[in-house]
Structure 1
Amino acid sequence: MNKLAILGVPMDLGQARRGVDMGPSAIRYAGVAGRLKKLGYTVKDYGNVTVDNGTAQEETHGNLKNLIAVTQTSRRIRDAVKTMLEDNSFPLVLGGDHSMSIGTLAAMTAHYNNLGVIWYDAHGDLNVPATSPTGNIHGMPLAVNLGYGHDMLTQIGTRKLKTENVVLIGVRDLDEGERAFIREHNMLAFTMHEVDVLGMAAVIEQTLAHLAHTDGIHLSLDLDALDPMYCPGVGTPVLGGLTYRESHLAMELLAASMRIVSAEFVEVNPILDERNKTAEVAVALIASLLGDTLL
């Protein structure tokens, strides 16, 4: 597939720290479209999805913040990604906080019968309203896509992910409810301990073997998966993360597998960044995922 579609999601409704809504602009400024055109892709930028920032912080349902606004925006993301898929393009979605994946995956799971997902993130994002310590929806999107959470969110997608079709990589900051969820559903999760012991090559090899039965794999990459020394411009940095080189290797191996059918790169916050460093890392990883090599 040499057609690639870019969608920006300037959303910061799923969390409390302002600035991540400027993430898509920062990644574009770092030259993502030009980098991909050099790789031979026909790139169409769909611009930014409309985000209901006007309702931000105005409504709370139980302990969920901005539920209506996140729901409305997620539906727009779903519809935009659906249009990309109908055009036979590879969807590349830029964020924006991680709640945006509710809409991205709603479109992807409807398009594929048995979608696999790689959740490349310091966090599990498996909270539900009862377990969330903050009420921030960016800590819930993977649970929502698996069918757990508030009805307004889970009903955005018509087909749910299967727990056996999800692999978490780089996890190092889990709430107790998320730990229980992973254990209960026997989900495959490579914490930083496993990455250190096995090495990234083995992690990706086992990930692809685990997802061999799926008919396509979506990559959801939160830049906080990397250590803050490489990606300071994220909202919830956690020390002890993946290295720049480990992440490039992961992207290169995923590219070689030819199994990745869509991707999103999320949680770039220029306000917290250093000279757009995190957005530049995002562009470099995107390029590796989509086939850029040294030779």
Structure 2
Amino acid sequence: MTDVMTNIRIVEVYSDVAGHKKGASLGIDALRASSQELNAEYYEKLQFDSIKDDSNKYDEDYEGESQFSHAKYADVIEPIISKLAHKIKDIREENKFPIVIAGDHSSCAGTMHGLKMAHPDAEIGVVYIDAHADFHSPYTSGSGNMHGMPLAMACAIDNLECQRNELSDAEKAYWERLKFMASDEPSIKPENIVFCAVRDYQEEEMELIKRHKIPLYSVAEITKKGISATVAEIFKKLEYCDHIYVSFDVDSVDPLYVPGTGTPAMNGLSYEQAMQLNIELIKNEKVCCWEIAEINPLYNNSKDDSTRIFKILEEVTHSLLNNY
């Protein structure tokens, strides 16, 4: 098994500037601490890379505001997403499987751009497990927080039909770079997305979901169908895709089980559902990348919260090792 584990690369993304609460970048080291406390030797057995915010402008003590209103900290976020995209490209070109452990969920735009760079002619599917749709653009976002925009970045969607904001020239320039980082076309087609557990969204995002007929499996529907049947339907929907990316935001889980996240939403998945959903998804041979994001230990009830999330990471990796 040790030889097989060289086929997996962990990429840690230490950034939380795209969220409205700090602390998500601390989740990465909280998982490391949980691994040590459990004597899991998870990190000793795997290769890993780290991507950090090198700007030094928005550290723990920084109290300033972004110069941008509708694409907050785009000048910091853009190079982080670019570095991640090129890292994912390199890992995939080595025919290895990237597991991304990220701070805020804006990172997944970089992951999707990287997959497009590595597989430019492929159909790439996305299974997006999240409480939120993350389909805003700077033109539609009420907050300007870019952790709510990664799918719009990857799909290169402005959603001007629902426009509420006028952007500065600088914001427009950064947004264009964030959309077309991999090529001069969108990295992901919206019709190649499947949502799971999304329940906290704005009307502008729902307009896109309806316009592109994106399947959305609610928590109630997942509970009624069961995990196995839900996963089978997801892969039937994405059967024409060559590669599939699974993105797991921990706020998809009900805060009763995992309170440690920056944007909790009630009526989420149970802990067992989240565990089983990710384990079953990772078994499919088309899945080429898995990401976990938005672990914020500042909002934990106890350190056991991070330990529960680490166990999902560990079990998903074990499932991957048995099937990759």
- Specify which of 288, 309, 315 is matched with residue 261 of structure 1: 288
**3-state DSSP of counterpart to 1:17:** coil
CA distance in 1, matches of 2:239, 2:132: 24
Structure 1, unpaired ranges of 5+: none
C-alpha displacement at 1:193, in angstroms?
3.3
Letter paired with 1:87: E
Alpha-carbon contact 1:36-1:287 (below 8 Å) kept: no
Pairing 1:16–2:20 present: yes
Do residues 164 (structure 1) and 191 (structure 2) align? yes
One of 226, 242, 248 as aligned partner of 2:269: 242
CA contact (8 A) 2:84 2:110 kept: yes
Aligned partners of 1:283, 1:67: CA distance in 2, in Å? 30
Q: 1:118 aligns with which of 117, 120, 127?
A: 127
Is contact 1:13-1:53 (8 Å) kept? no
Are the equivalent residues in 1 in contact too, given 2:130–2:195 (CA < 8 A)?
yes
Q: 3-state DSSP class of the match of 2:234? A: helix
8 Å Cα contact 1:11-1:51 kept in structure 2:
no
Specify the code of the residue in structure 1 equivalent to 2:218.
T
Percent sequence identity over aligned pairs? 26
Letter in 2 for 1:7: V
Instruction: Give 2:55's match in structure 1, choosing from 52, 56, 61.
Output: 52
Give the 5 Å matches for 1:1-295: 2=5, 3-31=7-35, 35=40, 43-55=46-58, 57-112=64-119, 113-149=122-158, 150-158=175-183, 159-292=186-319
The answer to which of 104-113 and 175-184 deviates more is 104-113
CA-to-aligned-CA distance 1:38-70 (integer Å, 9 cap, x gap): 9xx961111343443515754333422101111
The C-alpha deviation readout for 1:155-194, integer Å capped at 9, x for no partner, is 2232520112111100110111011110011111112232
TM-score by length of 2: 0.83
SS in 1 for 2:267: coil
Length, aligned pairs only: 292
CA RMSD, 1 decimal: 2.5
Rg larger in structure: 2
Q: Provide TM-score, normalisation by structure 1.
A: 0.90
What runs of 5+ residues in structure 2 fail to find an aligned partner? 159-174
How far has the Cα of 1:126 moved from its partner? 0.4
Alignment CA distance shift 1:220-1:291 (3 Å):
same
Could you tell me which amino acid in structure 2 is paired with residue 30 of structure 1? S
Whether the aligned pair in 2 keeps the contact of 1:120 and 1:168 (CA below 8 Å) is yes
CA contact (8 A) 1:114 1:215 kept: yes
